[in-house]
């Protein structure tokens, strides 16, 4: 026996003697994970979170979350002797007087942007491939929770330095709180310890940012991963891949090396960004004061869609009975985001209800094979992108010689016109892709080679697909639409009847598809040729 | 930088003519740019004001009126003072290339002497703020950069952005970037309020404070890339763009490599 | 021909294709060397990071294309750290891809649903145990427990009450009142009408009583923009016109939408633009909203002169400044 094997054996028995975990460990160390690049997106988010914990801890060693006024006398000359809050001054100190401090700040902020971007692309992957279906609805909900908390955590984080840009963001957040009917001004005064900006808000959000929310994150991420572990990962359809199995690489050693290695890669890329690209140069923004503002004041990208919605809102307020309700803030700031996130959270349940599908699904959908869902996703995405674009309309205007008014009007109408168009186009594209699949399964792939038949005709040579490819393109189920329950004998519509009709109508839209080719059809065609 | 300076000097003449010919859309400015250069020699002994009036009649009067009283498309210049002329002509904004929303900074059409003559003429019509002599602007010595920053953020950043990179105004107008603008022109802009920009009176922002603002702008302009590539200093929009392109692009690219089977 | 439709069949997992390094010792050795080099590159990165921390002056800037004048230490620390991390990752993945077994394995899945007996047992157990606790029978306990648990969350909420004072009329008041002088921000100098030319703006604040220090809370409510245009350009009713002085008009700078500083004044169009959400206000028509999400004009501050000829407020604001709130009682 080699020495290394003996050591490994000793470690294993040491652990098993004390925990009896040998059986469990054996099973889990050989656990199989399917390999696909799109399964790494959630890992990017997970690793960015770890990077955030590490770099964030570094920053707390110097950061002073206090809004007490101090006079700056650090090394950054353009702010010398300027009065500012201690949190801003200590952020300047980290940036200019702690070696590697600016690097860590930039790593922290880039990691936050990557974290949010990775969550979004991970969510899109899960949505478009139907990975949220039974039994993974709970994990979908946890994911939506993580996304929501991520937005809040990011906002709180970039608000901490108390610079002019982030202070403006807090001012806007305060206006949203203040706009809540009945209790708004009370909530605002409680949150800010009095009139805006006060002296307590940053110390308070600091503890939320570094303790409360990271704690909740850790708990949710743990459950999220445990569920992935326990329920086993989904896999893409293909030869040998069934609902009843999972094909991939064992955790030890391949997946450990790949996933572990990928953590270092994500950290490396983040550090590289932190080294070469400036982010949130708070020394240029200046300290916050409510009387100042900079052109082009925007939030970070994951809040940009919200800001875009607020910008395009119509100027509506209700004044009645001595009270004011600001629809121009409530609709874009609370109501629309509420509807969007609730709809997103409920989608798995809606889909399972309308298709009466209560089975487990472990094989992923190819997005084209569920045109309605794919179109719905693309539609929602276009809504977000239009809102996000309007959130940067001033920068777009100056860089592409457009007018902010023009962009605003375009997005005001575009928000209602573009998503339905995107829905229709995406659905069409999906159906054409299905048609193309059908075509190549039955007639083979066009090779581009022309041959002349003995009769002098030119024919393009079609290459028959491999059985593996044919299976991949035709393996999916093609459920039929649910039928509406027939009307009662006396012709009255019962409540259940209407519900059934809605369900049947939704199901009909959901299953719209091109009939998959079958071996029988292929056989008949072959017969025809010869 | 040195190379471009050299080039600029060497081919300044031809470039001037070519740009004038190519970009100057309206007939009046084409007519003025070429003959005025010859005219300077001819009228060498006439007074500055007369000379300025001649340039004005050729190059400016079709819009601003024969007596600078203004017209349908251009404002009256009576009382705007030499400072306004020095700013508008010295930064190349006037004569305008076309009747666009806003006069853009470009290569000046008139040289320093011609600009001075025009300024003298306009100043002779009615009193107004005098042109600023760059030697008298002792911003490097007397300006206070930190105070300038505070003034800038209160009075200028809302249009010109926190790092003087410019920003959007309504209906396609914009506040230009202040990078590379001559100190005298910054000063003149503050006292004359060109185009959309309001005036900043000497009593509300004292001349000494104006020097501080200039010093801060110059300090922001020469500030090195402290944290790496500046991304245009326009805030979170370009940061978000970079994360979605380079950041996620790199990571997804590596994930694709990671998940492909080795051969 | 039969009517039976047969689907395409699953051909099963394709045969494993071996890598070069699986059967070629030279290729395997090459892969091993590559992994080793990658790990060494990481070590070099770490050494570089430490060396640049100690050796490079943190004030030193070097010129690089694209980046410009860059802080040498920040760049060296960052790229060193990036390399030390990145190459460990690349090495591990390369190792996994070329030298670790790459045969895909199949693991079976089982439906999560338990057997019917187990489920029935489970339901019975729950019922039995709940019955043992008497939850069904003792409805008094059930109800009072509901009350207790329902209320328990209230005490922490009540304890949060002292987070801040009640708003009272704080959102409706400012430091402006009759006779308060307008002073420049920054600088605190009083202003005479003659100090402003037509087309000029000034950022102003109220002069505070001697000995009072100006806080950010003051500025957040008091900031005012002073604008001078030609008096004939105003399009105001008699009352609002009487609030101006010889073409000088003053508005609260705190946006009536979400409280940003609306200070972006276009001298030619006489429009005020808020850079946050692009609400646009027309100065000649008492800051009427002409574009964007704001629903109300900016409150106008009535101006007059004091005995020494300085601009002062004729009265405080007649409406609350800043964003709307529930108790706000005016259009």
pLDDT reported for residue A344: 96
Q: Is residue C254 part of a domain?
A: yes
Residue A85, SS3 per DSSP: strand
Which two tokens mark C142? 């059930």
Q: What is the dihedral of CA A45, A46, A52, A57, to 10 degrees?
A: 170
Check whether residue B112 and residue B140 sit in a common domain: no
Which two tokens mark A381? 């995405």
Q: Which of A1-10, A251-260, C85-94 shows the lowest mean pLDDT across its residues? A: A1-10
pLDDT reported for residue B16: 44
pLDDT reported for residue C42: 97
- Contact of C54 with chain A, judged by CB distance below 8 Å, is answered with no
Residue with tokens 């008949």: A524
Q: What is the mean pLDDT of residues B125-139?
A: 87
Point out which residues pair with C281 in neighbouring strands: C272, C289
Contact A467, C1 (CB under 8 A): no
- Alpha carbon A46 to chain centroid distance? 13
Q: Is residue C11 part of a domain?
A: no
- Percent of all residues in chain B with a pLDDT value above 90, rounded to a whole number: 43
**Does residue A157 surpass a pLDDT of 60?**
yes
Which range marks the domain in which residue B174 is found? 134-222
Check whether residue B109 and residue B212 sit in a common domain: no
- Percent of all residues in chain A with a pLDDT value above 90, rounded to a whole number: 77
Contact C96, A261 (CB under 8 A): yes
CA distances from A116 to A45, C37, C143 (A): 7, 34, 45
Check whether residue B144 and residue B85 sit in a common domain: no
Q: Is residue B252 part of a domain?
A: no
pLDDT reported for residue B43: 47
Q: Is residue B238 part of a domain?
A: no
The reply to whether omega before A197 is within 30° of 0 (cis) is yes
Check whether residue C192 and residue C308 sit in a common domain: yes
**Does residue A525 surpass a pLDDT of 60?**
yes
pLDDT reported for residue A487: 55
Check whether residue C84 and residue C176 sit in a common domain: no
Residue to substitute from B163, B223, B251, interface A, most A β-carbons within 10 A: B251
Q: Is residue C7 part of a domain?
A: no
Strands C280-282 and C271-273: what pairing? antiparallel
Check whether residue C89 and residue C200 sit in a common domain: no
User: Is the dihedral angle over the CA atoms A28, A33, A39, A41 positive or is it negative?
Assistant: positive
C66: nearest CA partner in chain B: B229
Check whether residue C176 and residue C289 sit in a common domain: yes
pLDDT reported for residue B41: 43
How far, in Å, CA of A352 to CA of A130, rounded?
Answer: 11
Q: What is the mean pLDDT of residues A510-519?
A: 89
**Does residue A31 surpass a pLDDT of 50?**
yes
Q: What is the mean pLDDT of residues A403-427?
A: 96
How far, in Å, CA of B111 to CA of B90, rounded?
Answer: 8
pLDDT reported for residue B78: 87
Residues of B in contact with C192 (CB under 8 A): 203
Q: Is residue B199 part of a domain?
A: yes
- Percent of all residues in chain C with a pLDDT value above 70, rounded to a whole number: 99
Chain C residues 104-163 with a CB less than 8 Å from chain B: none
**Does residue B62 surpass a pLDDT of 60?**
yes
Check whether residue C66 and residue C187 sit in a common domain: no
How far, in Å, CA of A438 to CA of A513, rounded?
Answer: 11
Q: Which of A126, A100, A165 is nearest to A41 (CA)?
A: A126
Q: Is residue C150 part of a domain?
A: no
**Does residue B261 surpass a pLDDT of 60?**
yes
Q: Which of B77-86, B156-165, C312-321 shows the lowest mean pLDDT across its residues? A: B77-86
Counting the structural domains of chain B, the total is 2
Residue B144: which region, alpha, beta or left (left: phi > 0; alpha: psi -120 to 50)?
Answer: beta
Q: Give B70-123 pLDDT, tens digit per residue.
A: 888 888 888 888 899 999 998 989 888 777 778 888 888 898 888 988 988 888
Neighbours of C13 (CB within 10 A): 17
How far, in Å, CA of A346 to CA of A132, rounded?
Answer: 11
Q: What is the mean pLDDT of residues A267-278?
A: 96
Q: Give A425-438 pLDDT, tens digit per residue.
A: 999 999 999 999 99
- What are the CB-based long-range contacts (under 8 Å, 24+) for A203-211? A203/A65, A203/A66, A203/A67, A205/A156, A205/A159, A205/A160, A206/A63, A206/A65, A206/A160, A207/A65, A208/A156, A209/A153, A209/A156, A209/A157, A209/A160, A210/A56, A210/A60
How far, in Å, CA of C303 to CA of A28, rounded?
Answer: 78
Q: Which of A317-321, B63-67, C281-285 shows the lowest mean pLDDT across its residues? A: B63-67
**Does residue A241 surpass a pLDDT of 90?**
yes
Q: What is the mean pLDDT of residues B215-231?
A: 92
Q: Is residue C309 part of a domain?
A: yes
pLDDT reported for residue A459: 81
Q: Is residue B172 part of a domain?
A: yes
How far, in Å, CA of A202 to CA of A88, rounded?
Answer: 11
pLDDT reported for residue A485: 63
pLDDT-based confidence at residue B2 (cuts at 50, 70, 90): very low
Kindly determine whether residue A103 and residue C77, on different chains, have CB atoms separated by under 8 Å.
yes
Check whether residue C177 and residue C304 sit in a common domain: yes
Instruction: Please give the helix or strand (H or E) that residue A46 lies within, else none.
Output: helix A41-60
Check whether residue B140 and residue B117 sit in a common domain: no
pLDDT reported for residue A491: 55
Q: What is the mean pLDDT of residues A505-509?
A: 89
How far, in Å, CA of A522 to CA of A440, rounded?
Answer: 11
Check whether residue B103 and residue B195 sit in a common domain: no
How far, in Å, CA of B19 to CA of B24, rounded?
Answer: 7
Counting the structural domains of chain C, the total is 2
Residue C1, SS3 per DSSP: coil
Q: Is residue C296 part of a domain?
A: yes
How far, in Å, CA of A32 to CA of B146, rounded?
Answer: 61
pLDDT reported for residue A291: 92
Chain A residues 440-499 with a CB less than 8 Å from chain B: none
Q: What is the mean pLDDT of residues A213-237?
A: 95
Contact A166, A158 (CB under 8 A): yes
Q: Is residue B87 part of a domain?
A: yes
Contact A341, A144 (CB under 8 A): yes
Q: What DSSP letter does each residue of C108-119 carry, written as one string?
A: E---SSPPHHHH
Check whether residue C189 and residue C57 sit in a common domain: no
**Does residue C215 surpass a pLDDT of 70?**
yes
- Contact of A448 with chain C, judged by CB distance below 8 Å, is answered with no
- Contact of C101 with chain B, judged by CB distance below 8 Å, is answered with no
Buried b (16+ CB within 10 A) or exposed e, C289-310: bbbbbbbbbbbbbbbeeeeeeb
pLDDT reported for residue B20: 41
Q: Which of A195-209, B10-24, B228-242 shows the lowest mean pLDDT across its residues? A: B10-24
**Does residue B146 surpass a pLDDT of 80?**
yes
Q: What is the dihedral of CA A408, A409, A412, A417, to 10 degrees?
A: -130
Residue to substitute from A38, A94, A114, A284, interface B, most B β-carbons within 10 A: A284
CA distance C135 to chain B (A): 54
How far, in Å, CA of A519 to CA of A471, rounded?
Answer: 10
Q: Is residue C151 part of a domain?
A: no
Which two tokens mark A293? 């503002």
Contacts with A465 (C-beta within 8 Å, 6 or more apart), sequence order: A440, A441, A444, A445, A473
Q: What is the mean pLDDT of residues A232-238?
A: 94
pLDDT-based confidence at residue B9 (cuts at 50, 70, 90): very low
How far, in Å, CA of C81 to CA of A25, rounded?
Answer: 34
pLDDT-based confidence at residue B28 (cuts at 50, 70, 90): very low
**Does residue B37 surpass a pLDDT of 50?**
no
Residues of B in contact with C20 (CB under 8 A): 263
pLDDT reported for residue B106: 87
Q: Which of A322, A338, A309, A313 is nearest to A182 (CA)?
A: A322
Average pLDDT value over all residues in chain A: 92
Q: Where a domain ends, among B125, B144, B179? A: B125
Q: Is residue C322 part of a domain?
A: no
CA distance A471 to chain C (A): 6
Q: Is residue B42 part of a domain?
A: yes
Residues of B in contact with C202 (CB under 8 A): 200-201, 204-205
Neighbours of A509 (CB within 10 A): 15
Tell me which residue in C19, C71, C201 faces B198 most closely, judged by beta carbons: C201
Q: Is residue B53 part of a domain?
A: yes
Check whether residue B14 and residue B120 sit in a common domain: yes
Check whether residue B86 and residue B167 sit in a common domain: no
**Does residue A17 surpass a pLDDT of 50?**
yes
Task: Tell me the backbone φ, ψ of residue A186, rounded to 5 degrees.
Answer: -65, -50
pLDDT-based confidence at residue A12 (cuts at 50, 70, 90): confident
pLDDT-based confidence at residue A486 (cuts at 50, 70, 90): low
pLDDT reported for residue A490: 57
Tell me which residue in C53, C101, C324 faces A326 most closely, judged by beta carbons: C324
How far, in Å, CA of B133 to CA of C331, rounded?
Answer: 51
Q: What is the mean pLDDT of residues A127-131?
A: 96
pLDDT-based confidence at residue C187 (cuts at 50, 70, 90): confident
Q: Which of B148, B161, B135 is nearest to B215 (CA)?
A: B148
- Contact of C153 with chain A, judged by CB distance below 8 Å, is answered with no
Contact C69, C63 (CB under 8 A): yes
**Does residue B45 surpass a pLDDT of 70?**
no
Q: Which of A22-36, A262-276, C228-242 shows the lowest mean pLDDT across its residues? A: A22-36
Quote the crossing angle between the two packed helices A301-312 and A101-128, to the nearest 10°.
70
Q: Is residue B201 part of a domain?
A: yes
How far, in Å, CA of C268 to CA of A335, rounded?
Answer: 38
Which range marks the domain in which residue C260 is found? 171-313
- Contact of A408 with chain B, judged by CB distance below 8 Å, is answered with no
Q: Where a domain ends, among B207, B222, B237? A: B222
Q: What CATH number did the domain enclosing B216 receive?
A: 1.10.760.10
Q: What is the mean pLDDT of residues B169-179?
A: 92
Q: Give B229-256 pLDDT, tens digit per residue.
A: 999 999 999 999 999 999 999 999 999 9
């Amino acid at each position: 026996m080699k020495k290394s094997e003996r050591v490994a054996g000793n470690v294993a028995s040491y652990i098993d003697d004390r925990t009896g975990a040998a059986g469990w460990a054996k099973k889990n160390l050989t656990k199989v994970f399917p390999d696909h690049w799109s399964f790494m997106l959630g890992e990017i988010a997970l690793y960015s979170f770890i990077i955030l914990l590490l770099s964030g801890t570094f920053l707390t060693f110097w950061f002073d979350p206090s809004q007490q006024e101090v006079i700056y006398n650090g090394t950054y000359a353009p702010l010398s002797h300027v009065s500012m809050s201690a949190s801003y001054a200590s952020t300047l100190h980290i940036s200019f007087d702690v070696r590697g401090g600016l690097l860590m700040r930039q790593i922290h902020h880039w990691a936050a942007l990557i974290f949010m971007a990775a969550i979004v692309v991970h969510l899109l992957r899960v949505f478009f491939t139907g990975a949220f279906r039974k039994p993974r609805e709970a994990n979908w909900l946890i994911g939506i929770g993580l996304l929501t908390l991520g937005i809040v955590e990011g906002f709180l984080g970039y608000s901490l330095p108390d610079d002019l840009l982030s202070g403006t963001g807090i001012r806007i957040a305060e206006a949203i709180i203040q706009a809540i009917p009945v209790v708004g001004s009370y909530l605002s005064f409680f949150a800010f310890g009095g009139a805006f900006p006060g002296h307590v808000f940053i110390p308070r959000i600091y503890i939320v940012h570094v303790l409360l929310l990271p704690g909740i994150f850790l708990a949710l991420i743990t459950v999220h991963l445990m569920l992935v572990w326990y329920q086993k990962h989904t896999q893409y359809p293909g030869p040998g891949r069934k609902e009843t199995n999972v094909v991939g690489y064992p955790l030890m050693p391949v997946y450990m090396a790949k996933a572990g290695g990928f953590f270092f890669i994500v950290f490396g890329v983040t550090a590289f960004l932190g080294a070469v690209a400036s982010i949130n140069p708070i020394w240029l923004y200046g300290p916050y004061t409510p009387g100042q503002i900079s052109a082009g004041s925007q939030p970070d990208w994951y809040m940009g869609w919200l800001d875009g919605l607020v910008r395009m809102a119509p100027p509506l307020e209700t004044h009645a009975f001595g009270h004011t309700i600001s629809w121009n803030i409530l609709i874009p700031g609370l109501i629309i985001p509420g509807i969007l996130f609730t709809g997103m959270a409920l989608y798995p349940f809606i889909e399972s209800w309308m298709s009466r599908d209560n089975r487990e699904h472990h094989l992923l959908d190819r997005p084209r094979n569920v045109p309605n869902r794919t179109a719905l996703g693309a539609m929602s995405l276009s809504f977000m992108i239009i809102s996000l674009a309007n959130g940067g309309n001033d920068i777009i205007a100056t860089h592409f010689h457009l007018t902010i008014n023009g962009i605003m009007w375009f997005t005001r109408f575009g928000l209602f016109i573009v998503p339905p168009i995107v829905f229709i186009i995406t659905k069409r594209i999906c159906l054409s892709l299905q048609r193309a699949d059908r075509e190549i399964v039955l007639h083979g792939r066009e090779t581009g080679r022309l041959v002349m038949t003995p009769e002098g005709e030119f024919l393009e040579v079609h290459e028959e697909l491999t059985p593996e490819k044919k299976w991949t393109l035709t393996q999916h189920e093609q459920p039929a639409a649910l039928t509406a329950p027939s009307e009662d004998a006396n012709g009255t519509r019962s409540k259940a009847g209407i519900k059934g009709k809605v369900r049947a109508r939704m199901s009909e839209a959901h299953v719209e598809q091109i009939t998959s080719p079958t071996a029988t059809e292929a056989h008949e065609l072959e017969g025809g040729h010869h | 930088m040195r190379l471009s300076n050299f080039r600029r000097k060497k081919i300044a003449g031809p470039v001037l003519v070519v740009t004038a010919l190519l970009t100057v859309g309206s007939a009046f400015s084409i007519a003025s740019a070429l003959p005025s250069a010859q005219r300077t020699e001819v009228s060498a002994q006439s007074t500055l004001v007369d000379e300025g009036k001649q340039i004005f009649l050729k190059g400016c009067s079709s819009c601003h009126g024969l007596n600078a009283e203004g017209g349908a498309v251009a404002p009256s210049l009576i009382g705007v003072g030499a400072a306004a002329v020095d700013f508008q002509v010295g930064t190349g904004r006037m004569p305008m290339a076309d009747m666009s929303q806003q006069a853009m900074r470009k290569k000046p059409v008139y040289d320093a002497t011609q600009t001075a003559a025009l300024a003298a003429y306009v100043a002779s019509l009615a009193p107004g703020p005098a042109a600023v002599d760059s030697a008298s602007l002792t911003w490097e010595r007397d300006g206070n950069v930190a105070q300038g920053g505070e003034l800038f953020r209160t009075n200028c950043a809302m249009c010109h952005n926190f790092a003087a990179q410019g920003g959007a105004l309504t209906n396609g107008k914009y506040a230009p970037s202040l990078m590379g603008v001559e100190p005298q022109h910054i000063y003149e802009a503050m006292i004359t309020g060109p185009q959309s920009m309001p005036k900043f009176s000497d009593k509300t922002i004292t001349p000494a404070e104006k020097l501080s603002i200039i010093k801060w702008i110059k300090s922001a302009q020469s500030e090195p890339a402290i944290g790496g590539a500046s991304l245009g200093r326009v805030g979170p929009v370009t940061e978000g763009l970079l994360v979605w392109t380079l950041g996620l692009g790199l990571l997804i690219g590596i994930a694709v490599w990671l998940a492909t089977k080795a051969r | 021909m039969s009517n039976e439709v047969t689907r395409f069949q699953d051909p099963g997992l394709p045969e494993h294709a071996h890598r070069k390094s699986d059967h070629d010792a030279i290729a395997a050795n090459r892969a091993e060397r590559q992994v080793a080099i990658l790990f060494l590159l990481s070590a070099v990165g770490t050494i570089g990071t430490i060396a640049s921390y100690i050796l490079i002056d943190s004030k030193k800037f070097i010129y690089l294309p694209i980046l410009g004048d860059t802080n040498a230490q920040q760049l060296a620390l960052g790229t060193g750290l990036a390399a030390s991390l990145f190459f460990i990752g690349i090495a591990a993945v390369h190792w996994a891809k070329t030298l670790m077994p790459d045969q895909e394995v199949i693991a079976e899945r089982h439906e999560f649903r338990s057997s019917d007996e187990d489920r029935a047992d489970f339901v019975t157990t729950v019922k039995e145990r709940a019955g043992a606790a008497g939850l069904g029978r003792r409805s008094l306990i059930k109800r009072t427990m509901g009350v207790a648990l329902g209320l328990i969350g209230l005490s922490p909420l009540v304890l949060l009450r002292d987070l801040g004072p009640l708003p009272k009329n704080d959102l409706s008041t400012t430091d402006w009142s009759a006779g308060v002088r307008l002073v420049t921000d920054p600088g605190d100098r009083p202003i005479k009408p003659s100090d402003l030319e037509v087309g000029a703006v000034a950022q102003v604040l109220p002069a505070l009583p001697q000995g009072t220090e100006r806080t950010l809370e003051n500025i957040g409510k008091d900031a005012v923009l002073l604008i001078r245009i030609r008096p004939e350009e105003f399009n105001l009713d008699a009352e609002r016109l009487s609030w101006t002085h010889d073409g000088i008009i003053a508005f609260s700078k705190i946006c009536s939408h979400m409280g940003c500083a609306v200070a972006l004044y276009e001298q030619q169009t006489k429009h005020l633009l808020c850079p946050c959400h692009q609400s646009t206000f027309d100065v000649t028509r008492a800051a009427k909203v002409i574009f964007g999400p704001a629903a109300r004009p900016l409150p106008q501050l009535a101006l007059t002169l004091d005995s020494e000829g300085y601009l002062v407020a004729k009265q405080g604001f007649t409406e609350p400044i800043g964003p709307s709130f529930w108790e706000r009682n005016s259009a």
